[in-house]
Structure formats: structure tokens, C-alpha cells
Structure 1
């Protein structure tokens, strides 16, 4: 087999492939053996028709499609290997010659991975991230953890306060008429949660048990129900029950229950501070890595084929569908609920998909430029980390993944990002961005 590659405009090119006549005849023989099993010819048992009789009756051309199925894919794959190109989409095939006793010739119009013209990726200016943990941050974290443990206690006396959960009946009117979806009985609402129309929850503060009130609000201009958007509404509200959070008091005993390594409140808060510092440090590192990757990609020049963007959109939709499945929804149901179509979603995802493709191509180009690879030892170490983290044996992880290519690529990408960070210059945030 011989193959030639000619680059055309953009990322397309023409791949010309010639397969020797001997291979064609072998493919025709295979095609005949397949077809003859289902042929009935008077005077011959099924599957026993001689080749000359078959060709005389049906013509050798009747074998060409099956022979093509046998020849094309292996020839195309071999041609890719021989020419060293990297296709990113299915080719357009043009069969030039397929005849018994002659070479098989075809042309493939192929879209290939684009060339990457790297810009600056060393010495990038990356904004420093503040990793300071203040006393107020520690106190807020402790407060949130205590509030998560709070019991809800019915308030027999007293009025609604922000943070209380009220059980209420409401009946909504616009222009004096009830509107669909504006009524409920026995509805639980946390006051201050921002769950209802702006202004609604604030007007519940101060109400007492069994008290009624007309709550006046205006629907937002961008409200999802167009017939209500921007309209003034009145809700007739009745308070059925008021529950307040009873937050436990942090003492030495509770501190040791919350954290086995803390003997008292001070030790518990010290451990909380350490956890916050570690979290801020990790967040800072991730933000700096993200900025370095984005800047390196922005500095690169790449003519990205539409086919690669479409493929990335496919992956993003698949990821979204998997997330929906975890919430008990399929894509069809989601589109019905949201009023969105798949084409709408694709259009919304297009810019992100293009950025993803550009980023991946840039990181791959840097890896090649710097001769960065993931060794077998790197892969083994990564598999062991996964095993320790998830409590699954290395062998089971290997069986699940099928091969180590995904891990090898992940390790390679991380090495590239580590290079970007090690070569970057950390700079202070602009004064006007500090707040």
C-alpha cells in the first residue's frame, strides 16, 4: 500500500491511497465466501456455488461493496500511520477505482489536528492569592458548623425573626385576580433564605402566630413566567407556625465531640484554622494554575476546526446528561421543563467548548516542546494514589479504566501545568481589585 498526503487550505488535506491488486482479489475472495452462504442457485447446494458460476450469474460487481467494507478501514488506518497525520473528524471518502485485478484507489478529504503556534508560556505574570485566615473567618466557620447542628424549636410566643422557619398559607393576586401557582397551604419557608420574590420574606418579620397580612411585592422584570414579569402582586398570608433555630453552645465537651483531636474549645478553633488555611492554600494554587493555563492558551495562535468544537460540545452535553441522571432526570425531560432545545444548549456551550479545545491543544504543544512525558512509574504512582483514596485495588482500577492512557495524559498535563507555575512570576493584585 502507498499513501500520500497533501495539505490544503486551513486544516484540511487530501490523502491519496493505493492498495495493491493482490489485496483487492483477497478481499473479493472473502466477500464471495461471505455472500455465497446465502445464495440459492438451481443445481447447487446452498453455499456451494462455484465462483465462476456466481460471477456469471450475478456479476463480480455484486461483491464490490463487501470487498470495500473489508478493504477501506484497514487501508485508511494504515495510511494515517504511514503519513503521520492526526485526523480529528470522519473523512470524506471518494472511491476512484475498485475493480477485480486492479489496484484499489481512493481519496480521503481529512480534517487534521491544527498546528499550534505557541506564544509566551514561561515567565507569565500570575496574580498572588491571599491565603490569610482571620479570626473572623474562624468564628464564622465555627458558627456555620454549630448552626448545621441546630434543632428547630416551635415558638409559642414571640414574632417571626430572620432565620426562623415559618409554616404559612398564601394566596397571590395580580390586578385583583388569582394567578396560577400563587397559592399554597402549610408551606415551610426559612425567612431570609431568598427563596421567594424579593421583598416577600422581609415583610414576614414581626408577624405572630395565626396573624394574617397582605404582602405587597413586584415580580422581577426577568421573572421566568412572562405573564407575571414586572407585575405588582398581593399575597394574603397567614402564619400557622413559627420555628426558631436552637444553636448549641460550643464548650469543651462539644468541641471534643466535633473533633476527636481537640480537648477543648481553643484546640478545636485552632484545628478549624488549620483546615481553613489548607483549604485557602489549595484554592489559591488552583486559581493560579487556572490563570497560568488560560494565559498560555490566550498567547497561542490556533486555527481550530469546527469539527473539534462540535466534538467537545458532544462531550459537554454528555457530561451534563450524566449530571442530570444523578438528579433523576434525563435530557428529554430537562429540555421539556426548561423550554430549551439541544441546539440552544450547544450554542450556549460553544465558547466554552472552543476554549477547552484551545487549552488542550496548547498544553499538548507545550508538552511536546518541552519533551514532557508520563513514565510508567508516574502511572503506577497515580494508580496507587487512587487506590489509597478510594479503597479500591490497583488491579480493579486498571480493569475499570481498560488502559492507562487516560491516567498517562492526566499526569502529563499536570507536569505541564507545574512547569507553567514554576516559571511564572507572582505579582500583587491590582489595587482596584482589592476589596
Structure 2
């Protein structure tokens, strides 16, 4: 077999393959045997019909078609390996020449992994925010803890922010027609939380038990989603939160500490650890951004289009689960649809480019994956998705997603190695210690495996998908990996 490659673009190749007929003999023999078992020809037992008879009775063309179809996948893979090509999609194959008993030729056009000239990535310098925990941050956490231990008491006054009210709610069309599914009874709601229909907080403020108010809002789901409706809300009870005194008794009740000072110190420590993890994430993002800025990574447009479609579908599903329309989401983000699409496309392009780039770096560093690393990564992914680890791993195995998981680990290790070699400082010029950062955000002198996990675990997530949305945006983790054929 001979093969030649024509580069159609940095991400697309055309392979021309010539196959002498003697190399097709195993496929031809198998085709004759298969057809012989399917035909009934007088004078011959089933499965024992000789090839010349099959050629006369069935036709040589049918034999050639079956033999070529059976041989093509293996021949295509062999041509890819001979030319060191890595496909990113299914090929477009055409049989261009067929000379019986002499030669068979076909071409295959396919999107391929681009060749990338790696930028210098040793000793990068990045800056992150200072690690700052304010008194207000600590107080906010302490107040949240007090609210968890708060008690409720009925009050005979108008509702105000922070009160819990019991309400009945009914939504009707502007013509007064009741809306199916637009009724709620005995629902407990915290005034000012903003967790229900737009306008309900303003309607509830000032209402006492037994009073009602009508306001105009828009439903976020159902057939009338996005349309104006009339909503009547009636208050049946107003309850006020009574927070426990912030004293040593409370500290002992709400925590393992004996004093409020010890409780505050623990809250401060936890916030500091969270800030360290935020610094680590910011450092990874900054390093990856520098890598992308310094490299030219051609992207197959078909792959970008496929990823964009998948990401849009994921966002739409998440908005639907949240009971929010795209229009309402864009309003909350103060974005136009064009701005949203442009931002989404940039995230997708950066995600795909980062995958190609980190794969190339991993290849240059000969980074491999141990079984324990893969197992730990699968466990993390299961936890992130809220799934049972055993069921998650079983799904990955059954649907052949393990190679994708291996790629994620490899990319994470590649990015982690670059982050470790980078100089990371905060805005005040202080060095940021990432090498000794533990997964819980504390600093110490962990064992080698723990030190690697501390950087790798978040790093592979960033490498897998730089388009991961913030907590305010609808798109979450994406298993946004580029699927390779």
C-alpha cells in the first residue's frame, strides 16, 4: 500500500491511498465466503459455492463492493499511522480508481490535529490579587451561621426584608383567565431574597397577615413564559427571625469552639484558604492565557461549530432547569444576544485551542498517566457532577469515555508543570506559594503525591475547558472536551 498526503489547510488533509490487489486478497476471500453462505445455487451446498460460480451468478461487482467496504477502515487507519495524522472527525472517503485484479485507490479528506509551534513556556510571570480577608467578610460568614440557628416567631406587623411570610399566589392573564400551574398555596418565602417572580418583593413589603396585593410580572416557564401576567399574592402569616446572641454559648452550640474569638479565628482561616484556592485558579488562568497569546493554534471550523452547538444546548438545558428563559438571562446579565454569542464563541475557541496546545506540551514532555491518577480524576469528576462514583465510572467505561478522561489528566499535568515553574506574585509583589498548596487551601509540606494533587486537581479542570462559566452564568462544567475519532 502506498499513501500520499495533501495539506488542504492547517487543519484538513487529503490522503490518497493506492492498494495493490494482492493486499485485498484476505478481504476478497472473506467476501466470497460470506456470499457463499447467503446464496442458494443448485448443485452446490450452502457455503461451498466456488468463487467463479459466484462471479457468474451474483456478479464480481458485489464481491468487490463487500471486500472494499470491509477493508477500507483498516486501510484508512494504516494510512493515518503511516503519515502521523490524528483525525478529529469522520473522514469523507471516495473510491477514485478500481482496476480489477490490479489496483484499488481511494481518497480520504478529514479534519486533523494541527501542527503547533510551541511558545516558550519556561519561567512565565503572572500576577494575582492579594490575599485579603476583611472584617466584613468574617462578619458575613458569622451572620450566616447565626441565621442557621435562628428561630421564628409570629409578628403582628407589616412584612419587611428578612421576614418569612406564608403566602398564596395566583397568576392570571391580563384578561383575568387563570393560568394552569400558576397557583401556589401556603408557600414560605423570605422577603427580599429575590427567589421568586420579579416584583414580588416590592408587593410583599408592607403587607400584614390577611392582606393581599396584585402586581404585573412575567412567568419564567410554561406556554406564557416571557409574557406579562397579573399576579395576586396574599399573606397569611408574617414571621420574624430571632438570631441567637453572638456569645461563647452560641460558639459552643454552633461549632466545636469554646469562644466567639476562636470561632472567628476559624472562619478567618477558612476564608484565607478559600482565597488561596482562588489565587491558584487565577494563576492557572493567567498562565494559560499567556500560553494562548504566545501560540498560533489553527482551529478546524467544523469542530468549533460542533462545540458551539453543544455548548448552546447545555446552556439552554440549564436555563430550563432553572426556570429561566434566554431573554430573562440576558437581561440579568445586561447582555445582547450578539454579545452573548461573541463571548461564547471566544470561550469555545480558547477551550479548543488550549486542549491542542496542552496536548502538544504533554507530548513534548512525554507526560503519562498512572492508574491511580486516572482513578482519582474519575472520582473528582463524579463528585463535581453530583453522581455516584461507581455509576459514573461504569458509564465512562460503557460509553468509551475513558480516553477523554485520560486526556484531561494529561492536560492537567502539563498545565500544572508550567504553573509550578512560573513566578506567581500578588499585587503587592509578594510571592504566592502554589507548590505547597494543599487541596483544602492550607499550606504545608505534603508528600509528593499530595503536592501534585494540590496543583493538578484544579489544573486539569482549567485545561479541559477554559470556557467554564462563573457561578453567575448558566453553563457549568462542561464535559466540553474535543471528541476525537
Task: Determine whether 1:373 maps to 2:379.
Answer: no
- Report if aligned partners of 1:93, 1:107 keep a CA contact under 8 Å in 2: yes
Task: Determine whether 1:166 maps to 2:162.
Answer: no
**CA distance change for structure 1 residues 385 and 27 in 2, over 3 Å: closer, same or farther?**
closer
Q: Which residue of 2 is the match for residue 148 of structure 1?
A: 148
Residue 322 of structure 1, CA deviation: 9.2
Task: Determine whether 1:135 maps to 2:130.
Answer: no
**CA distance change for structure 1 residues 44 and 411 in 2, over 3 Å: closer, same or farther?**
closer
Q: Which residue of 1 is the match for residue 289 of structure 2?
A: 294
Residue correspondence of structure 1 range 294-373 to structure 2 within 5 A: 294-313=289-308, 316=311, 350-368=345-363, 371-373=364-366
Residue 16 of structure 1, CA deviation: 1.5
Counterpart of 2:365 in 1: which secondary structure? coil
**Cα deviation digits, residues 335-357 of structure 1 (max 9, x gap):** 9xx9xxxxx99999544322211
- Report if aligned partners of 2:126, 2:422 keep a CA contact under 8 Å in 1: no
- Report if aligned partners of 1:379, 1:408 keep a CA contact under 8 Å in 2: no
| Distance in 1, Cα, partners of 2:377 & 2:344 | 33
Q: What TM-score do the two structures reach when normalised by structure 2?
A: 0.69
- Report if aligned partners of 1:123, 1:425 keep a CA contact under 8 Å in 2: no
Kindly name which structure, 1 or 2, has the bigger radius of gyration based on alpha carbons.
1
Q: What TM-score do the two structures reach when normalised by structure 1?
A: 0.76
**Cα deviation digits, residues 363-396 of structure 1 (max 9, x gap):** 223444xx323345x55456468779999999x9
**CA distance change for structure 1 residues 68 and 114 in 2, over 3 Å: closer, same or farther?**
same
| Distance in 2, Cα, partners of 1:356 & 1:243 | 49
Q: Which residue of 1 is the match for residue 452 of structure 2?
A: none
Pick from 237, 240, 244: which aligns with 1:241?
237
- Report if aligned partners of 2:374, 2:405 keep a CA contact under 8 Å in 1: yes
Residue 73 of structure 1, CA deviation: 0.5
Q: Which residue of 1 is the match for residue 22 of structure 2?
A: 22
| Distance in 2, Cα, partners of 1:258 & 1:414 | 39
**CA distance change for structure 1 residues 106 and 387 in 2, over 3 Å: closer, same or farther?**
closer
**Cα deviation digits, residues 59-94 of structure 1 (max 9, x gap):** 211112210122101011011111111222222212
Counterpart of 2:352 in 1: which secondary structure? helix
**CA distance change for structure 1 residues 80 and 273 in 2, over 3 Å: closer, same or farther?**
same
Residue correspondence of structure 1 range 8-407 to structure 2 within 5 A: 8-119=8-119, 121=121, 126-155=126-155, 157-169=156-168, 177-178=175-176, 181=179, 185-196=185-196, 199-212=199-212, 214=213, 225=225, 227-228=227-228, 237-260=233-256, 262-313=257-308, 316=311, 350-368=345-363, 371-375=364-368, 380=372, 383=375, 405-406=403-404
| Distance in 2, Cα, partners of 1:393 & 1:200 | 41
| Distance in 1, Cα, partners of 2:379 & 2:11 | 42
Any unmatched runs of 5+ in structure 1? 339-343, 430-435
- Report if aligned partners of 1:4, 1:16 keep a CA contact under 8 Å in 2: yes
Residue 289 of structure 1, CA deviation: 1.0
Counterpart of 2:161 in 1: which secondary structure? coil
Any unmatched runs of 5+ in structure 2? 330-337, 429-485
| Distance in 2, Cα, partners of 1:363 & 1:15 | 27
| Distance in 2, Cα, partners of 1:199 & 1:399 | 44
Residue 127 of structure 1, CA deviation: 3.4
